[in-house]
């Protein structure tokens, strides 16, 4: 069902600056918005400039032009600001994106008429605690991963749930994923697919050895604390970002984020399953690489 919502009047367009197609499409989108009398700005985002962040203050909505990686990078900022996000696919993988280079004009026309709805997806909040002090924190859209480093040897990961012991894994790593993340890394290691609106965490080991092998879906509101216990390197990675090296006494605390990722949608409620089936049956990355 499509709700009639307020049409945005101030739109920030963020293309992946490393993709010529995305830059060209963003220029077309800018011209379209100009013709419609919509205030906008195009802010190209460079992958190599990891500290580069657009100022989201004063905007009603954000449009990304690129793949899922671009959407995730911008999504972290939108979670903080509570801004709705609309993805336009121009990269290799666009499972999270709502529009393509063939449908964006029709989609933006509907957007400016207020004919859309906002899907709220749970995000996580993760903290790295070292020697009793919080040294880093992240807003998480897909997953938190604690894993072995360069040495090909499993690590022991203790999991505390709601301040009580849950279990320990001997594995290459452990994934704590959102419903959104259940179709990312977690899916690649055999995890279940969760409906996007579900507000539960998914716990899934990577290559477990004599440990609990199955994925576990935690109750809504659960809080998790991870401890990597090993005599060799262990790492922490959030949403595929550059890893952080962990020490034996470090803790990784994870809980539901009070803010949600707000995704602009035009389709019917079952869009997720239709899109998932199409994506799984016709992998766009394999097609682009011409694997026969």
- Catalytic residue numbers read 68
Report how far residue 143's alpha carbon sits from residue 237's, in angstroms, rounded to the nearest whole number.
Answer: 8
* 69 half-sphere exposure, CB direction, 13 A CA radius: 16
How far from 243 is each of 81, 145, 189, CA to CA, in Å? 25, 9, 19
- Residue pair 79/139 in contact (Cβ under 8 Å)? The answer is yes
End-to-end alpha carbon distance in the chain: 40
Q: For 183, phi and psi rounded to 5 degrees? A: -100, 10
- Rounded to whole angstroms, how far apart are CA atoms 180 and 45? 23
User: Strand 251-265 and strand 117-130: pairing?
Assistant: antiparallel
Helix H, strand E, coil C: the string for 209-231 is: CCCCCCCEECCCCCCEEEEEECC
Tell me the C-alpha distance between 237 and 223, whole Å: 18
Say if CB 117 and CB 263 are below 8 A apart: no
Cα 24 → chain centroid: 25
DSSP designation for 186: H
Contact between 261 and 79 (Cβ < 8 Å): yes
Dist CA 174 CA 208 (whole Å): 9
């Amino acid at each position: 069902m499509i709700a009639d919502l307020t049409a945005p009047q101030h739109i920030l367009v963020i293309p992946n600056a490393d993709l010529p197609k995305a830059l060209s499409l963003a220029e077309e989108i800018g011209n379209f918005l100009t013709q419609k009398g919509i205030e906008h700005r195009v802010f190209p985002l460079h992958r190599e400039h990891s500290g580069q962040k657009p100022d989201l203050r004063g905007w009603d909505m954000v449009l990304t032009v690129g793949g899922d990686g671009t959407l995730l990078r911008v999504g972290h900022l939108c979670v903080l600001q509570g801004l709705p996000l609309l993805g336009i696919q121009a990269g290799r993988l666009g499972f999270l994106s709502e529009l393509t280079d063939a449908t964006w004009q029709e989609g933006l026309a509907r957007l400016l008429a207020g004919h859309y709805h906002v899907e709220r997806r749970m995000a996580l909040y993760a903290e790295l605690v070292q020697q009793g002090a919080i040294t880093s924190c992240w807003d998480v859209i897909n997953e938190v991963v604690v894993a072995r480093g360069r040495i090909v040897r499993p690590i022991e990961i203790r999991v505390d749930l709601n301040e009580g012991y849950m279990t320990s894994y001997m594995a290459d790593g452990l994934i704590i994923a959102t419903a959104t993340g259940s179709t990312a890394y977690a899916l690649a290691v055999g995890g279940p697919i969760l409906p996007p609106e579900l507000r539960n965490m998914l716990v899934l080991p990577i290559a477990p050895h004599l440990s609990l092998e199955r994925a576990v879906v935690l109750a809504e509101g659960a809080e998790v604390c991870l401890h990597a216990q090993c005599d060799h390197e262990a790492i922490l990675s959030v949403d595929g970002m550059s890893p952080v090296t962990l020490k034996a006494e470090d803790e990784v605390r994870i809980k539901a984020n009070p803010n949600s990722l707000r995704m602009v949608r035009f389709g019917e409620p079952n869009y997720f399953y239709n899109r998932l089936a199409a994506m799984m049956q016709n992998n766009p990355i394999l097609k682009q690489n011409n694997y026969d």
